[in-house]
Amino acid sequence: MNAFTSSVHLVYLACAACFVLGLHLMNAPATARRGNQLSAAGMAAAVATTVAVLARDHEITAFAVAALAVGVAGGTIAGLLTARRVKMTDMPQLVSLFNAVGGGAAALIALGDAVEHAGSLARLPLQTTLTIVLDVVIGGVTFSGSLIASGKLAGLVPGRPILMRGGRTVNILLALVVATLAGMFLTGHSSISGLAVITVAALGIGVLMTLPIGGADMPVVISLLNAFTGTAVAMAGFVLGSTPLIIAGALVGAAGAILTKLMADAMNRSIGAIIAGGFGTGDDATPVSGAGATGPVREITVDDAAIQLAYAAKVVIVPGYGLAAAQAQHEVVALAQALTERGVDVSYGIHPVAGRMPGHMNVLLAEANAPYTELKDLEEINPEFARTDVVLVVGANDVTNPAARRPGNAVSGMPILDVDKAKSVIVIKRSLGHGYAGIDNELYTDPKTAMLFSDAKAGLSALLAGLAAYATR
Amino acid sequence: MSPLLLADITVFTLSLLVGFEVISKVPATLHTPLMSGANAIHGVVIVGVMVLAASTTTLAGYLLLLVAAAFAAMNVVGGYIVTDRMLAMFHTRAAVRS
């Protein structure tokens, strides 16, 4: 190994170290931005080093340089524009879209490599053909699956579960096609056309896998697809013998796997059941159809609620999926700021699945200028409810249902926010409709709970106005 | 199995474990930037696209290369910028006031 090759390897190693340290710095909001910048610096170094390698080897053709340059320029502009312009509420679909193109690029690397070896495919070692097939399959499923997920999140594809008759049969058939052709590919009967069919079948599986999954399950799905992309990139690394791809792919695979597990646990659902699909609702949830709590429910007027909040010493706001769907994050933060100015201790209790992707609610509130020190996760906030005067629940349902502590119902065992331990509770909700689990929320019939029937955005604005009117009185 | 493949498998396995270790310490508050940042990291696939370019000599290969390069560049550039935008919004109370 000459000096040049050795230095290239060492730079790649340093880049990988930047990725790991960058992720490590993400363990606190204060250092996270620096972590991302370190990771970006590592990426820039990896790209620059690869340019140097290409320039030195002189093997690359002028056409390849042109294709690379045009592609990179187009992709960079697209990435820049979308990343700069995206609204924070639209973050889940953008992350999904970037995930799709990443998976697609990984699959294309394997395809491209196979195309260049078209004449000698049968002579490739098993490790190369195996990783080519794995890369094409995982990358293909991720690409089409993430595009559908992104479309669902953006409302371009209906968010409700789309169940087609025979959809599962088609999926099994496609899987059989992939398995058969992959078997042939690995045993020396390899052809480009076979690989092309595998690609198309993988794309089909991705679509059919994501369509039946409901909008509320999206946090799990995009985490899972993220893990897939990581794996696909690692496989591309195996195909090309490129260590940075293997390391980065494994890191992302681990991140996706952890988030998938966390999200599925927080929703009290198994990953298998989510993939099987058919559950979950679209964004415009809150079914009103006759379903409702059975016990007596106490209603509260906006003015009374505002006075109750103004007189409290400690208020915890519990924002849920409904708040994200109604895009009322600015209103809720404005209300919290008004209360803080009156000397009320305000914090936010955020359930892991509040929002449309892991941690989405925190980003929405941070954008609306809520200090991150007030954003508390489940473990942090639960012990505090006993000392809380008023909990304001906005657009959250199942995650506050005390029935979860008892066995034998749809939410049993689900990690919940112990809202009912507080001295009093105000729930802003449009109706007594069921949440995602489809059962009555016992919180609503609790004597210390008062219901403020309103849309999240309108209700919060009314509370803020009520508070202002009361304060000037 | 070749020594090279064994080395690759070793690197893959250890990276996976390092990933689990590092990422399980990220607080729930930062899960969206984490996912988006991890997304940007798999944009390293652009290095793979460049490596592939060195051995591309056919028309079909050039077309695949063009699309792969566009996808990878969008992934890496967009991923890092959007993550930075999100992380820039996380402030303490003192910083929010000022």
Report which of residues A119 and A108 the model is more confident about.
Answer: A108
Domain-located, residue A34: no
Domain-located, residue A61: no
- pLDDT digits over A12-31, tens only? 999 999 999 999 999 999 99
How many CB atoms within 10 Å of residue A455? Answer: 17
pLDDT at residue A46 in the model: 97
Residues A444, A361, single domain; the answer is yes
The minimal CB distance from A98 to the residues B26, B74, B89 is found for: B74
Domain-located, residue A2: no
- pLDDT digits over A291-321, tens only? 444 678 899 999 999 999 999 999 999 998 8
- Taking the Cβ of residue B67 and every Cβ of chain A, the question of whether any pair is shorter than 8 Å is answered with yes
- pLDDT digits over A365-423, tens only? 999 999 999 999 999 999 999 999 999 999 888 889 999 988 888 888 889 999 999 99
Residues A256, A318, single domain; the answer is no
Residues A232, A352, single domain; the answer is no
Residue after which a domain boundary falls, among A276, A292, A312: A276
Q: Are the C-beta atoms of residues A404 and A388 closer than 8 Å to each other?
A: no
- Taking the Cβ of residue B87 and every Cβ of chain A, the question of whether any pair is shorter than 8 Å is answered with yes
Domain-located, residue A184: yes
Residues A125, A254, single domain; the answer is yes
The minimal CB distance from A240 to the residues B17, B51, B84 is found for: B51
Residues A178, A261, single domain; the answer is yes
Residues A265, A351, single domain; the answer is no
* A284 burial type by CB count under 10 A (0-12 exposed, 13-18 middle, 19+ buried): exposed
pLDDT at residue A126 in the model: 86
Active site (catalytic) residues of A: 398
Q: Are the C-beta atoms of residues A222 and A96 closer than 8 Å to each other?
A: yes
Domain-located, residue A405: yes
Residues A239, A328, single domain; the answer is no
Residues A255, A376, single domain; the answer is no
Domain-located, residue A414: yes
Q: What is the CATH number of the domain that holds A406?
A: 3.40.50.1220
Q: Are the C-beta atoms of residues A133 and A176 closer than 8 Å to each other?
A: no
Residues A254, A341, single domain; the answer is no
Residue after which a domain boundary falls, among A260, A276, A292: A276
Q: Are the C-beta atoms of residues A143 and A204 closer than 8 Å to each other?
A: no
| Alpha-carbon distance values, A152 to A423, A438, A458 (Å) | 40, 22, 26
Residues A248, A334, single domain; the answer is no
Residues A188, A321, single domain; the answer is no
Residue after which a domain boundary falls, among A276, A310, A333: A276
Domain-located, residue A199: yes
Alpha-carbon torsion B81, A355, A24, A225, what sign? negative
* A219 burial type by CB count under 10 A (0-12 exposed, 13-18 middle, 19+ buried): buried
Report which of residues A331 and A59 the model is more confident about.
Answer: A331
pLDDT at residue A292 in the model: 45
- Reported pTM: 0.90
Hey, are the CB atoms on B69 and A352 less than 8 Å from each other? no
The minimal CB distance from B22 to the residues A23, A74, A246 is found for: A23
Domain span at A148: 90-276
- Taking the Cβ of residue B35 and every Cβ of chain A, the question of whether any pair is shorter than 8 Å is answered with yes
Number of domains comprising chain A = 2
With CA atoms as reference, report the closest residue to B92 among A35, A333, A366, A373. A373
Mean pLDDT over A332-347 rounds to 94
Residues A219, A255, single domain; the answer is yes
Residue of A nearest to B19 (CA): A251
DSSP state for residue A383 in the 8-state scheme: G
- pLDDT digits over B12-69, tens only? 999 999 999 999 999 999 999 999 999 999 999 999 999 999 999 999 999 999 999 9
pLDDT at residue A289 in the model: 38
- pLDDT digits over A255-293, tens only? 999 999 998 888 888 887 777 765 544 443 444 433 444
Residue of B nearest to A43 (CA): B44
Hey, are the CB atoms on A372 and B77 less than 8 Å from each other? no
Mean pLDDT of chain A: 89
- pLDDT digits over B83-98, tens only? 999 999 998 876 665 5
Domain-located, residue A21: no
Mean pLDDT over A153-163 rounds to 82
For A336: left if phi > 0, alpha if psi spans -120 to 50, otherwise beta; the answer is: alpha
- Gap between the Cα atoms of A326 and A27, Å rounded: 30
